[in-house]
Amino acid sequence: MKKLLSRLVFSVFLFFAAVFNVHGEEAALSSATEECLDCHRALHPGLVASWEKSRHSRTTPAAALVKASISRRVSSDSIDKSLQDVVVGCYECHSLRVDQHADSFEHNGYRINVIVSPKDCATCHSVEADQYSKNIMSHAYGNLVDNSLYRDMTAAVNNNYHRKDKSLVLGDIDKATEYESCLYCHGTKVEVKGLATRQTSFGELTFPVLEGWPNQGVGRINPDGSKGACTSCHSRHEFSIEMARKPYTCSECHKGPDVPAYKVYEVSKHGNIFNSLDKNYNFDNVPWVVGKDFTAPTCATCHASLLVTPDQEVIAERTHQFNDRLAWRLFGVPYAHPHPVDADLKDVRNSRGLPLAVELDGTPVAQHVIDKAEQDLRNKKMKAVCASCHSTEWSEEHFRRLDNTIARTNDITHEATKILMDIWEGNYAHGLPQGANIFDEEAERMWTSIWLFYANSTRFASAMAGGGDYGVFADGRYQTTEQLYRLNDYLKFRESLENKMPKK
Amino acid sequence: MKKLLSRLVFSVFLFFAAVFNVHGEEAALSSATEECLDCHRALHPGLVASWEKSRHSRTTPAAALVKASISRRVSSDSIDKSLQDVVVGCYECHSLRVDQHADSFEHNGYRINVIVSPKDCATCHSVEADQYSKNIMSHAYGNLVDNSLYRDMTAAVNNNYHRKDKSLVLGDIDKATEYESCLYCHGTKVEVKGLATRQTSFGELTFPVLEGWPNQGVGRINPDGSKGACTSCHSRHEFSIEMARKPYTCSECHKGPDVPAYKVYEVSKHGNIFNSLDKNYNFDNVPWVVGKDFTAPTCATCHASLLVTPDQEVIAERTHQFNDRLAWRLFGVPYAHPHPVDADLKDVRNSRGLPLAVELDGTPVAQHVIDKAEQDLRNKKMKAVCASCHSTEWSEEHFRRLDNTIARTNDITHEATKILMDIWEGNYAHGLPQGANIFDEEAERMWTSIWLFYANSTRFASAMAGGGDYGVFADGRYQTTEQLYRLNDYLKFRESLENKMPKK
Amino acid sequence: MKKLLSRLVFSVFLFFAAVFNVHGEEAALSSATEECLDCHRALHPGLVASWEKSRHSRTTPAAALVKASISRRVSSDSIDKSLQDVVVGCYECHSLRVDQHADSFEHNGYRINVIVSPKDCATCHSVEADQYSKNIMSHAYGNLVDNSLYRDMTAAVNNNYHRKDKSLVLGDIDKATEYESCLYCHGTKVEVKGLATRQTSFGELTFPVLEGWPNQGVGRINPDGSKGACTSCHSRHEFSIEMARKPYTCSECHKGPDVPAYKVYEVSKHGNIFNSLDKNYNFDNVPWVVGKDFTAPTCATCHASLLVTPDQEVIAERTHQFNDRLAWRLFGVPYAHPHPVDADLKDVRNSRGLPLAVELDGTPVAQHVIDKAEQDLRNKKMKAVCASCHSTEWSEEHFRRLDNTIARTNDITHEATKILMDIWEGNYAHGLPQGANIFDEEAERMWTSIWLFYANSTRFASAMAGGGDYGVFADGRYQTTEQLYRLNDYLKFRESLENKMPKK
């Protein structure tokens, strides 16, 4: 009985130790960070509390570096000694590389930056920053605004219109609108426009004036010239790996009809299991143990995380180049095609000189897209993840179906493109032959919705092995074919009117 | 060791005390409520269990009143002595103000009401009831059914159609349909239509016959003449503050394309953080501590709750007039405009005599909307909430963008309105000039969808600093411009047909 | 004090016993299953871990059989002795009835099946398998592919199109597309196409080649001739009752605009309460105790689960024939009508010989649908569930409104059908009179969307006593009437063109 009692007491001790662990011995704050907190704790209590909940507030780089390689959350081989023995606080991040930061400024005796950029985060997380720089997402700003076709689309969508002689005339570009629409996800170009002084509760203070700020878009151009924002996914000051691993993070930008990844995931088998059982999952463990930490994958599982078996055998390496395991760029522009070779698409041109990696009939432009061997390699990496739970036959057939769906949706986009070309040819709308914006007329929008919404939706439903209705009645094949009828009827109707109507 | 042991034992005690707290000493039930429970526990076990989980079942008004003011959940200065020392049970609520209740009836020796109205809840929660009566939501019934334009819209949408000579003729109004559609959220008018006797498992019993019941709409007209339903948000018999603070409650009515607040929230940064981390939040604490109880706001955080810093400094006062911190009425009718002065809109008329707080070109009608000073005051209150986590620059720019988006979406609504007016002028559709319903033709619906769905969606995406696609491809600017093309093409096409076609 | 201490120690013991319960004494594995696990634990760690979390891995049929009848999770009266004393492992399920399985094959000395079918699950769960065979869902494959009208719809939606003389010509059927679209939910026909040998990490092995696999559709035709897939809802190897009881499972197939049950549920009062408070619910208890285990119903609560009061009185029996408590088939084809008598619809014909249980004016075909008495019986069973929380008046009025909504949406479908018939009559589109596909022209799709999307959505919103906007602005009455205008305008416009245009 005495033995049992002592065992119980020990168990109780362990239990309470585990419970109170998070409030255990606290690591040291730098004196600079202590100063930051002195004011900001009162000014922005939510922000500070959020950081206090982060791992950054509770651990030091020195402690992070000594972990076993597979469990390590920092990837830089060495971290500056001066940073190693304090927790990662306000000053530690906001004071990095101030000379390269156009947004640096004097603040209560310290030189700090408004924005912490991926190059700053690279201090401790260099491998992730490097991988992310090869991720097409980090180039999302330039890939959008430097592409003449996309510029036409954003103008047609975002700019105002005014009527002149009963025709709609496209108005000017409007920066604030750009920031809220396309660039909310793609990222803005943050530029310093001088300094401004204002009264604060701590007296008069001077701050940089930033154009394009706030923004956490994935391809943000930072005032140090770097690209991207780690906070797109590791949001705000909690820098949570749990958040980045949950699909809600991805849903911020991948829910719209153009890339309905989250909507599809939600009604896929994977999404159902996640939604039903995620309360039992551990989203914080590194490495992430398949089966033990979770049973259904989230976006991060298949596209980013370091995955191991319960025996710590590596299933997939961590990657922040999220197309590492992706053979295809599903998102059609206007056709789905093998992933671009380069994340920066500024030099991509097809044989007509259009900034597209495909010809207008859907043929990929060979030099701009990865070849079959690379596609096979990427598929192989992805199938290793699938194999955690699925037989070879299962996943092989899955990818066969996906390939078929890509081909079929491209086919129907091709038919639609031919109809639109006839419409342009007949001068029933003004597009490529007329050198006009190809997104600002009703018939052009019918064509656009076919590939931008319905073909994409259908392909995402296929890629996630489910999401049935997003391939059928919810922006799927039903809507594809309906728009195809409308587009073809538009041409036939305009032609028949022209033939039948008396010339004035 | 002995000391350690006794400490552990004490910890264990505290732990179990905490765990079993909810089942601790029970407060007294009134004998009337005990009688209710005797039968209803068997009849409606879910309903009773739900009440048993509520705070009402476990605490007395006397205990609630002695709490420190900032933590108090009752706001009435005094509560009738007879109610103070029993828990808030069935009889305590359903027996209030029976003389004012047309729905009161004799039931097993007690006179009780079917419906507990906001005026009944005011017994303990008088401040909230008073605030809510100034909330535009409490007038949602009259603001809808007494507005001739809205009446036309509901008729065009809800009533049946029959064909006569190949034209569609609008049928009669249908009450049951009204209850299920617009009035589900706006609230019904609950009227007593006599009494009916029926066999029950306890013998023959008599109950009031209620027209428009059941309903929990926010502007319900109750049989005591009061307006609204506290159970719209504090649902059923659990009266949960947790539920009211979670965004799912708001989503019941604010998810549709006309007010897509919840859809936008879900894919905003705030929504992402909430969805990812809410399992760590405390939704029950009063006051609600920013940073400690939660790190991302829900709808209630910004629009309703009493918020304090971890040091118990008040960030925002509790309000049940949810536009207290809102400068604009984003919801366009058909233009977004400064919030109406009065929650009851029955006297609102523009210069054309239409029941709108704006002219047809978007100019607000000055006497019906709040002025710049009041707008600034409301913005200031809201920015105090933002400041919990965001810098002044951050939130200032946010509101600048929102103002810009309001102006831009109003502009495009104005262009659309001019086109529709030309369509009416040309007799290609029948609207204001013809004295006809302005919502029952295809061209009119193109116009309606621009402001009711797409401009609203774009504004909500802006207001929540995110929800990117709800401002772009998901009922956003893409759809706005597409409908604008369609509307303008409709006019041009009808005109060209008229010009070209031989007169018969 | 000593007594208190011993009590505490005992409490602690109970507490830890409860906590570590799941890792307690393990039940025996069969040697065959042990062999399976030896390899598959390394090959498919996620799959094995998922099974390890299942009840199947921790209990034996013998232990399951001795539970009190009301708590029992197996329904077969007797289970083969050879299976009783080992846990339900790989071999126990995959080796059943091999002689009836066309997909059985030799695998490392054992004869096993790829697919575990409902007839295999019936070994222990015979009552559920039998009920499910009478569920319309189990016939979802044949009810779709053997119905000539549905075949036309799937062809128009799924097949490719090519232009010939500027007309769209429907291409061939494509199996892979079928598997990903309609049959993803309805189920495929899984057929064995021989054997294939391939290299594996354990050397050369031979597996069956399966056409139509993978698939977990509700009406899957299995290689043993059985129909359905228990894993549609009790997903993968966790076989979780919790998952099947949560609405996410149903959402896989019931979220599209044709059957938006989950979307409606989400914004209903029931869905709000579930979303807000489900962390307090127990989804695993059998029987499921209303009030104690949950306060808001999920799909399973109303349509499937065995429900009891806290006093263990039965409120509703468990059923896997999910229309057991449903008087109406809400899903219109094209009209909502009383539920079909038979789950297998292959013999259903109306007076025109069309494979529909209704005439074209909406009148049900009496011999194919349940009669009023059976409808009343089903409503009575459902109302018993409602009565857990709602008064008789409340639920009576709810069902009155639903009946009204069914009548009204059928009426408007009828008006639309008459317009379409006039369009066909005028040869402005080609449908029934021309013996043509009735789903492959723009006007036909206007008609289709009225009943398939908008009338269904409106009815689901009504049936779930909420989801307001799905009956109004979100695929509801607003869209119904808009499409009705479009359809009628189409006819009038085509007629007016014909009358006015000079004949060539």
For testing contact with chain C, the best of B6, B180, B299 (most C CBs within 10 A): B180
Please list, residue by residue across A263-283, b when 16 or more beta carbons sit within 10 angstroms of its beta carbon and e when fewer do. Answer: bbbbbbbbbbbbbbbbeebeb
Amino acid letter for position A372: K
Is the pLDDT at C11 greater than 80? The verdict is: no
Q: B26 falls in which pLDDT band (50, 70, 90)?
A: low
Q: How many CA atoms lie within 13 A of A135 on its CB side?
A: 25
CB B298 within 8 A of CB B311: no
Cα–Cα distance for residue pair B69/B318, rounded to 1 Å: 12
Using 50, 70 and 90 to split pLDDT, how confident is the model at A17? very low
pLDDT, averaged across chain A: 93
pLDDT at residue B5, as a whole number: 55
* pLDDT tens per residue across span C241-291: 999 999 999 999 999 899 999 999 999 999 999 999 999 999 999 999 999
Cβ contact, residue pair B271, A253, below 8 Å: no
**Mean pLDDT of all residues in B373-381:** 98
Per-residue pLDDT averaged across C68-91, rounded? 96
Which residues is C163 bridged to in the sheet?
A: C168
Q: What is the mean pLDDT of residues A55-80?
A: 96
Q: Mean pLDDT across the stretch C122-146?
A: 98
Nearest alpha-carbon partner for A187 in A135, A121, A137, A233 = A137
Residues B266-293 have pLDDT tens digits of 999 999 999 999 999 999 999 999 999 9
Give residue A14's pLDDT.
Answer: 44
In this structure, what token pair is assigned to residue C104? 């059985």
SS3 for C332-350 is CCCCCEECECCCCCCCCCC
Instruction: Please write the tens of the pLDDT for every residue from A333-368.
Output: 999 999 999 999 999 999 999 999 999 999 999 999
**Cα–Cα distance measured from residue C36 to residue C42, given in angstroms and rounded to the nearest whole number:** 11
- pLDDT tens track for A445-491: 999 999 999 999 999 999 998 767 999 999 999 999 999 999 999 99
What is the predicted pLDDT for the residue at B498? 80
In this complex, do C290 and B49 lie within 8 Å of one another by their Cβ atoms? Answer: yes
Are B485 and A240 within 8 A, CB to CB?
A: no
- DSSP secondary structure letters along C43-76: H-HHHHHHHHTSGGGT--HHHHHTS-GGG-S---
When CB atoms are compared, the residue of C398, C485, C495 closest to B168 is: C485
Whole-number pLDDT of residue C8:
53
pLDDT of residue C14: 44
Positions of E strands within B203-322? 203-211, 288-289, 307-308, 314-316
pLDDT tens figures, B461-502: 999 987 679 999 999 999 999 999 999 999 999 998 887 655
Whether residues A469 and C253 touch (CB distance < 8 A) is answered with yes
CA distances C48 to A308, A391, B19, C38, C111, Å, are: 14, 12, 35, 10, 20
Neighboring chain B residues of C419 at a CB cutoff of 8 Å: 163
Question: If we measure between CA atoms, which residue out of B211, B197, B255 comes closest to residue C401?
Answer: B211
- Whether the CB-CB separation of A364 and A358 falls below 8 Å is answered with yes
Tens of pLDDT, residue by residue over C14-40, are 444 433 433 445 679 999 999 999 999
Give the closest of B267, B393, B405 to A180, CB-based: B405
Supply the pLDDT for residue A2.
54
Per-residue pLDDT at B20 exceeds 60: no
Of C161, C180, C246, the CB nearest to A462: C180
Above pLDDT 70, what percent of chain A?
94
Cβ–Cβ under 8 Å, residues B152 and B359: no
Listed range (B314-323, B446-455, C1-10, C44-53) with the worst mean pLDDT: C1-10
Q: What is the rounded distance in angstroms from the CA atom of residue C427 to the CA atom of residue C455? A: 26
Cβ contact, residue pair A276, C249, below 8 Å: yes
CB B474 within 8 A of CB A255: yes
Binding partners of C (≥3 Cβ pairs within 8 A) = A, B
Interface contact A255-B469, CB threshold 8 A:
yes
* Cβ-defined contact of B488 to A166 (cutoff 8 Å): yes
pLDDT of residue A26: 61
* Chain A residues touching residue B267 (CB < 8 angstroms): 251-252, 255, 262
Residue C60 has pLDDT above 50, yes or no: yes
Q: Which of B295, B301, B460 to mutate to test the interface with A (most CBs of A within 10 A)?
A: B295
Domains of chain B, first to last: 19-94 (no CATH), 117-232 (no CATH), 249-497 (1.20.850.10)
- What integer pLDDT is reported at residue C7 of this predicted model? 53
Q: How many Å lie between the alpha carbon of C163 and the closest alpha carbon of chain A?
A: 7
How many Å apart are CA A177 and CA A181, to the nearest integer?
6
Kindly provide the residue ranges of all beta strands, DSSP E only, lying in C262-388, ordered along the sequence. 288-289, 307-308, 314-316, 328-329, 337-338
Are A387 and C440 inside 8 Å of each other by CB? no
Q: Which of B342, A9, B311, A370 is nearest to C9 (CA)?
A: A9
What distance in Å separates residue B17's CA from the closest CA in chain C? 11
Interface contact B401-A184, CB threshold 8 A: no
Name which of C19, C276, C499, C504 to mutate to probe chain B: the one with the most chain B Cβ atoms within 10 A of its Cβ: C276
pLDDT computed for residue A6 by the predictor:
54
A12 vs B contacts (CB less than 8 Å):
8, 11-12
Please indicate whether, in this complex, the C-beta atoms of C295 and B253 are within 8 angstroms of each other. no
Which of C53, C176, C453 is the closest to A295 by Cβ?
C53
B492 to each of A159, A161, B489, how far by Cα in Å?
Answer: 22, 16, 5
Region B125-152: mean pLDDT is 97
Tell me, what's the ipTM? Answer: 0.93
Q: Answer yes or no: do C468 and B181 touch at CB < 8 A.
A: yes
| Burial class of residue C267 (count of CB atoms within 10 Å of its CB; 0-12, 13-18, 19+) | buried
